[in-house]
Chain A
Amino acid sequence: MTLGLHLGVLALLGGLQLVLPPFHHGMLARIMVLAAYAAGYNLLLGYAGLMSLGHAMFFAAGMYGTGLTIHYLGVGVITGFLLGVVAGLAVAAAVGLITLRTAGPAFLIVTMMLAQAFYLATLYFNEITGGDQGFILSGLHLDLAGRRLPLADPAVKYNVALVVFAACLLLNFWIVRSPAGRILLALRENEERTRLLGYNTPRYRLFAVTVSGLVAAVAGSAYTLLFSYVGSTFAGILYSIYPLLWALLGGAGTILGPLVGTLVMTYLVDVASSLTTGYLIVVGATLVVTILWVPAGIVGGIRARWAPWLP
């Protein structure tokens, strides 16, 4: 039943592209990629109980890994994507090792500082990265089964975004159901007891950070392929705060939470931006309101009240 629900959500997203007007069609494509990012974040926050403020470095690692290799080495879209994922994997594993012994606020600050160093590095090496200004990737094509699909085409964009999101969602689903996922939950609830039960907790933590960073890198790489731009803005602290916000609002530790949170927040920001110049105030207000009154998030709240079977 639960797998059915999630497949149903994916089918719904697939079907929506036939009826959505162009603007919302484009919005949803973007939202799905960002929701994949939030899902990666949620793996760490919701299941391993580790709150990071540095996920932008994983997202950006995917972005730069893909963007730089396509831009300078002229590799294809698939190769570029894989290289971006490898770059994200490497950064995530390194961060996982460095932060192995930290917990709580210390973990949060260490990841934030590492991400800040990463961000400054993208500025420092601006001869290569283009720094603040960044660079564009244009005319990208996906060669699939002998067909040449331009990524600029709205339908291609939407479906690539859908595939990326679906892959992240199903991976999430699978990990949560696997024995490793259950140990992560145990880690979140009580690291000390889990360790005493004989589990190698540092190994599972490293696993959680790496997979979470990997998924963020997948999203970053997909984002750069679909929206044709690489720049240091995406390594900045705001892009570490966003996935935290999306995951918390949707419901940390729920599989559909990140999608719901990203969807609600993106539209909220868009509506607010037509009302006031200070539209990012909704980001702040949502964070405060969520933490005060809906700490479980939207999907988490639904689960607690009506649907305890929701994963």
Chain B
Amino acid sequence: MSQDGAPTLSRRHFLQAGGLVAVGAHLPGPGVARAAAQTGQGPLRLGFQVHRTGIGAVYGRWYERTTMAAVKLINEKGGIGGRPVEIVAEDDGTDPKRGAEVVEKLAVQHKVDLIFGTLFSHVVIASAPRAGELKIPYIVVSEGYHVASGRLNRYVFQPGITDVRAQVTAVAPWILKNLGKKVTLIFPDYAFGHDHRDFFSRVATAQGGTIRALIPIPPTETSFTKYFPRVPADTEVLYHVMVGPGVLTFVKEMGEHFGARRPQIFGFIDSLEGVDLASPGLEFLEGTYFWEAFPRYAAATMPPHVRFYRERVGVNDNGASVNDPRDVSTFSHMFGCWETLFIIKRAVEQSGYKKPGAAGYRAFIETLEGFQSFPEGTEHPQGPKKFVGRLHQVFGRQVVSKVEKRRLTVIHRTAIEDSMYAPEADYTKQPL
């Protein structure tokens, strides 16, 4: 999935840096000293469930870097409620069974205050019940629709990243209007892909589009050539989304198959997260379109907080690591960790949360559920957000980019409202 060279900054080194900052930095800002006096406790300890190994490792690496950058900033500005933040990271191997164990370990053994950071939906789905049983807030950065669907429980939140259903709802009208009405979908054959299939089909058919074919790809697949002949000849738009170690192979083989005869192609950037668009074999992508949450390539007109975010995380103008230009980030997902941490900060400070336990968590959860919007800025560099408390889900603006000169150029931004759908779930009715 990635274009990785020699590791630039080792994980341990990175963690140490983060840890040192967490313990060492006490630069109280206004109002912080008062809060510190109120509590007088040690650091606020956040459990970080991270995919260091397994198929989610590329995302995990960047989630960790973004998290550490955000924590460093938070600690420089006086921590959360006057307390420095300490990250307790545990690898879940992108494995559901291990994921549930990690939640248990973080909550019961490390006794962290909150748990956050999980991405892959099968890990979220296996871990969420354990968090609910242990009654500890579990704040995911997964983009899956599982939170907003109401299938999880009151302790699970997704306040830092828009879910798949909302992403699809926001960009589908643009695809139909600008690229064509006859669409073929290629997607991974499990729940994440099924969300794309179901919600895109629903929106597209309601707006006069037709789905020419649905091509699911099994999660264990390593060779994709045999799937492309199934794309009907009269397809106007090929809609693709893929995840896992095989993404580069997938996109390359798509190019080999279609060459210049390609239909319009609209992809979710998931298909190329962590991959350099200038990789050999991807030339055919020129003139195709991608959904992005947050533009990977720097633009001349970037607002200062976006520039600031990129600097702090250590991302160059091409969306790769400043230390190793071959190490491309997962830019459209990892900002979710940054924003989540600032939301945790806000919720902890407003709720007066002090220590693990029913009372503290009740205040934290009810405060978080009461949030309605987050303004764009340093804390929310991706853009302004609306938060729907009953769904535990946030909604933000989405981006359509075009590949020009082997880079992505933003050509369209949706409004927050474009992504919103009628809520079905209501977590606030569940008991705590």
Contact = CB atoms under 8 A, between A and B. Distances in A.
Determine whether A and B are in direct contact in the complex, meaning some CB atoms lie less than 8 angstroms apart: yes
Interface of A: 22-23, 26, 30, 120, 123-124, 126, 130-138, 152, 227-229, 231, 233-234, 270, 273, 277-278
A134 B96 contact: yes
Contacts of A270: 105
15 contacts: A26-B104, A123-B190, A123-B220, A126-B189, A126-B194, A130-B125, A134-B125, A136-B129, A136-B152, A227-B129, A227-B130, A228-B133, A229-B97, A277-B52, A277-B91
B125 A227 contact: no
Contacts of B132: 138, 152
A231 B108 contact: no
B153 interface: yes
A229 B189 contact: no
Interface of B: 52-53, 90-91, 95-97, 100-101, 104-105, 108-109, 121-122, 125-126, 128-130, 132-133, 151-153, 189-192, 194, 218-220
B100 A227 contact: yes
A234 to B, nearest CB: 7
A243 to B, nearest CB: 14
A228 B133 CA distance: 10
Instruction: Indicate the member of B91, B95, B121, B126 with the most A CB atoms within 10 Å.
Output: B126
Instruction: Give the dominant DSSP class at B's interface.
Output: helix
A126 B189 CA distance: 8
Contacts of A124: 218
A98 B405 CA distance: 59
Given A138-B153, A273-B91, A277-B91, A133 B122 contact: yes
B100 A133 contact: no
Contacts of A233: 95-97, 122
Contacts of A130: 125, 190-191
Given A22-B108, A273-B91, 14 more contacts: A23-B109, A123-B189, A123-B218, A130-B125, A130-B190, A131-B219, A133-B192, A134-B125, A229-B96, A229-B100, A229-B126, A231-B122, A231-B125, A233-B95
B102 to A, nearest CB: 9
Contact of A126 (B104, B108, B190): B190
A287 to B, nearest CB: 19
Nearest to A124: B218
Contacts of A277: 52-53, 91
Contact of B219 (A132, A138, A273): A132
Contacts of A273: 90-91
B190 A132 contact: yes
Contacts of B194: 126
A233 B121 CA distance: 13
A216 to B, nearest CB: 16
Given A23-B105, A233-B122, A136 B128 contact: yes
B219 A23 contact: no
A134 B133 contact: no
Contact of A231 (B90, B109, B126, B153): B126
Most chain B CB within 10 A, of A137, A234, A270, A277, is at A277
Contacts of A30: 101
A23 B104 contact: yes
A261 B151 CA distance: 37
Contacts of B101: 30
A278 B191 CA distance: 28
Given A138-B129, A227-B100, A123 B219 contact: yes
A26 B133 contact: no
Contacts of B90: 273
Contact of B151 (A23, A136, A228): A136
B125 A133 contact: yes
Given A123-B219, A123-B220, A231-B96, A136 B189 contact: no
Nearest to B60: A277
Contact of B126 (A123, A126, A134, A278): A134
A228 B109 contact: no
A140 B152 CA distance: 14
Contacts of B129: 136-138, 152, 227-229
B350 to A, nearest CB: 29
